[in-house]
Amino acid sequence: MLLRNVRLQLAASPASRIFRGYYEAALAALALWCRRHPSIESLLLSGSGASGRLRYGMSDLDIWVVQRDDETSPVRKERFLTDLRNLHHLFPIVAVGPHDVVFTREEFDEMVLRRSPHYFSIPGYTKVLFNRDPSRSYTIPYALEHERSFLSYLWRKIDVLLENGTDVKYGCYLRRCIADYVDDAYRRLGLEGAATQALTNGALIRNLIELHRVVLDRIAGGERGEVPLPAPGSTCVIPNVLLWETLPLAEVFSTSVMPQRLVVRMARDGSLAEQIDEYIGAYGRADAADLFGCGGLLLPLPRADRSSLDPLDPDANPVTFASLRAGCEPLDLLPAAERCLTTNALTPTVRSMNEYLLRSLCRDPNPLFAIRPENVPLAELALGLWCAGPEDASARERALGVLARSSDCSVSERLFLLKNLVQGRSLDPAPVRATVAIVTRNRADLLVRAISSLQSQTFEPAEIVVVDNGSTDHTAETVREWASRWPKVRYVYERQPGIPHARNRALVESSDRSDVVAFLDDDCVAGARWLEELVLPFRYDPEVVSAGGYVRFAQEDKTVWGDFYCSRDRTSEVLR
Amino acid sequence: MIVPNQPEAYSFRYLPRSRSKAIGLFFPGANVAFRRSALDPIRFFDTDLASGEDTDAGIRLVERGQFFSNPNAEVVHTAHLSLRKLMQQWFRIALYTVRVVRKHADGGLEVFLCFGRHLSGEARFRNLHYRPLPKPYTAIVFLSPFLLLNLCLWAVILSGGAPAAWAAAAGAAALYFNGDRKIRGVPWRRRFLFAGVRLVINTILLYVSLLEGLRRGMLYVNYELD
């Protein structure tokens, strides 16, 4: 058999030293090993990331190197175990390195690995490398040596498996079942029509597309290039593939040392938009989505097909799908989408991701509700590509436009762009002029700080109204002096004491000059992006009537509250 | 009526609209923006309220459109406040929260359960009971671990220190102090101080708002506002 896509996943954070050791070693070992397998086209190395989640690979061979030496959190441990329990039977090999600290060997073996047919570990290996003794610091070459021997052992094992004819092609029982099903369908219905049909109907996830390719190869009995895949836009359309899991692209390396294409990429903090642009530039727009899909999961179907599509007929293979279904809660979605979800829900992880995405897109009238800032990169691409369904070229253009544009936007602005994109609203921000109103009383010194923090805003205020609520100190002189230097500052005196009076006065004074009035307290200092972020909702959503930010307490007030809220002075950090 | 004065309460999102008049998330006046076309600039803020005018404005504005919370728009509160001034401020908050609720209350009996918090730090509310009453009669009760602790302490006092009451108070205290997310990461020595301060604040809030509510013909049992 041919191995095309190989994926090596290390269950460690790429930031960790251990991972570095693995990474170096893995590259070296893989370089050696891949020379013996010229069929390998792509190799994906990835780490589990800080979340500790193991990730899917949609590849011919998945190798997991598991060690949990640095794992201390019980939550992550539990999550990891659940993942592993759910996934280990889906993948051909779980190679276990050391895991002696959190999991005992017995516990781990008993819970997870005994059930895997292709589990092996190297005794003694653990102790050498991952001893937690702080006095024994290991250097990279030292680790490399061991890693190399470990990995070459691993490769040898794989070779043996391959030679013995163990079916690792589809990696798991499920994949095998799907492949059999597709195979069967082809045989029953005749070659070309069935292939086309199956591609159209069944290619829900990247995995399946790959499977179809394999099956087509097998049927054609030759090279992959001989059986052309249906072109997008023709009568049979391969539904767009969305990715979810690949999105931490930063953790994905492909390097040119390797046989075909492999570019070492460690841009862990690089912005997503840059990477997207890079990919799009390198491969052409049509291929970009496809490219992102490799190694990714997901997603259902273009919108138009949702009701009519019959993904993989579950009744044709009841054993496989019944067991899958048993573990899946019914989802309150469109029936076809539900079936599709259920069929694709290999694990709770995937299911929850699918569910999350679909719910936020289909049911939730306001997708932003569901999307939190830490999910932005994921949601961004998912939403963008969702909109760029193959059936609607203009939507696709718009989505790609948003993705391209998002490189010079802040995260919040990108979210609003995407929200408007999904909701079909205007992508151009409305022009908004903002007045900043500061209400003050006897705090001239603090007021100076507040006003000066407005000087360096990324969004320029139309005017600054300082309402003096009956001060008796030198507030008036201070503000007038500011006003002479900076014409936007205006001084207003409100005789009647009381914050409501002063605020009303500020609203009256700002009339007709601005669309938005932003209030800032005199004892607060605004961050450089304060006004921009505060005005953002008004620019992108005409329904927003009020927006607020958050008030951080600096430590310099030596009160209990100040200490309570933050343990260090973050004023300078915010003002940066 | 809850003004989210803790940073954890914020996340990037639209504020949910609550069905109850007694509960809602609004922005503190130190860092808020309004769309001018949506409000009446002459008497937008209620001049009868010395505090809580921002909350009051928010309640009236909520009918007219969406509220968006963007934690990236942050300001740093740098003023030096003495403990005495802070106590005054809490006192005022307790007082005027009641007035704002009173102003907007439709009349009715509302009972909320607020045990636990959301991940974002907001208190988790569940409306246990609602019964409409004729307009002037309003009763809003938040059942919280703090209230439980208070009741247990009263039980201790009234029973003259019965062991069962002490045990119940200890349990309630565990429930109350355990829910405090903000204390995490604080050195142990300080935790007791913070817990004590929190207890004091909440006691002030509870009794001041209770008395003020009763004075205005309303039963208002506050939840812990920390």
SS3 call for A175: helix
Instruction: Please indicate, yes or no, whether the overall pTM of this predicted structure exceeds 0.90.
Output: no
Note the pLDDT tens digit of each residue in A330-365.
222 233 333 333 333 333 333 344 444 444 444 333
**Is B74's Cβ below 8 Å from some Cβ in A?**
yes
Preferred mutation among B39, B61, B62, B72 to probe A, highest tally of A CBs within 10 A:
B72
Tell me: ipTM over 0.95: no
Q: Is the dihedral of CA A475, A481, A482, A483 positive or negative?
A: positive
CB–CB contact A561 B67 (8 Å):
no
Residue contact B74–A369, C-beta within 8 A = no
Q: Please report how many Cα atoms fall inside a 13 Å half-sphere around the Cα of residue A515, on the Cβ side.
A: 13
Three-state DSSP class for residue A133 = coil
Positions of E strands within A52-161? 61-66, 93-96, 119-121
B44 touches chain A (CB under 8 A): yes
d(CA A323, CA A326): 5
Residue in A412, A559, A563 nearest the CB of B12: A412
Decide if B74 and A373 are in contact by the 8 Å CB cutoff: no
Residue of A nearest to B33 (CA): A518
Q: What is the pLDDT of residue A90?
A: 35
Judged against a pLDDT cut of 90, whether residue A133 lies above it is answered with: no
- The pLDDT, as a whole number, for residue A93 is 34
Report chain A residues whose CB lies below 8 A from the CB of B79.
Answer: 443, 446, 523-524, 557
Q: What is the pLDDT of residue A373?
A: 38
State how beta strands B66-77 and B13-14 pair: antiparallel
Q: Helix/strand/coil (H, E, C) string of chain B? A: CECCCCHHHCCCEECCCCCCCCCCECCCCCEEEEEHHHCCCCCCCCCCCCCCHHHHHHHHHCCCCEEEEEEEEEEEECCCCCHHHHHHHHHHHHHHHHHHHHHHCCCEEEEEECCCECCCCCECCEEEEEECCCCCCEEEEEECHHHHHHHHHHHHHHCCCCHHHHHHHHHHHHHHHHCCHHHCCCCHHHHHHHHHHHHHHHHHHHHHHHHHHHHCCEEEECCCCC
**Which of A168-182, A205-219, B99-113 comes out lowest in average pLDDT?**
A168-182
Rounded to an integer, what distance in angstroms lies between the CA atom of residue A269 and that of residue A266?
8
The yes-or-no verdict on residue B132 having pLDDT over 70 is: yes
CB-based contacts of A42, cutoff 8 Å, min separation 6: A4, A5, A6, A59, A254, A260, A261, A262, A294
**Percent of residues, chain A, with pLDDT higher than 70:** 23
Do B11 and A367 touch, CB atoms closer than 8 A? no
Query: Do residue A551 and residue B35 have CB atoms under 8 angstroms apart?
Result: no
Per CB-CB distance under 8 Å, the chain B contacts of A366 are 14
Taking CA atoms, what residue in B is nearest to A458?
Answer: B73
- Is pLDDT of B164 > 90? yes
Name the residue with higher pLDDT: A461 or A159. Answer: A461
Running DSSP on this structure, what letter comes out for residue A303?
G
How far is A569 from A556, CA to CA, in rounded Å? 7
- Amino acid identity of residue B188, one-letter, is W
Lowest mean pLDDT among A237-241, A352-356, A369-373, A436-440: A237-241
3-state secondary structure of A265: coil
Structure confidence by residue, pLDDT tens digits, A404-416: 565 566 767 766 7
Cβ distance of A552 and B185 shorter than 8 Å: no
B74 to chain A: nearest residue by CA?
Answer: A550
CB B191 within 8 A of CB B114: no
Tell me how many residue pairs between chain A and chain B have CB atoms under 8 A apart: 251
Which of A369, A503, A507 minimises the CB distance to B14? A369
Q: What is the mean pLDDT of chain B?
A: 77
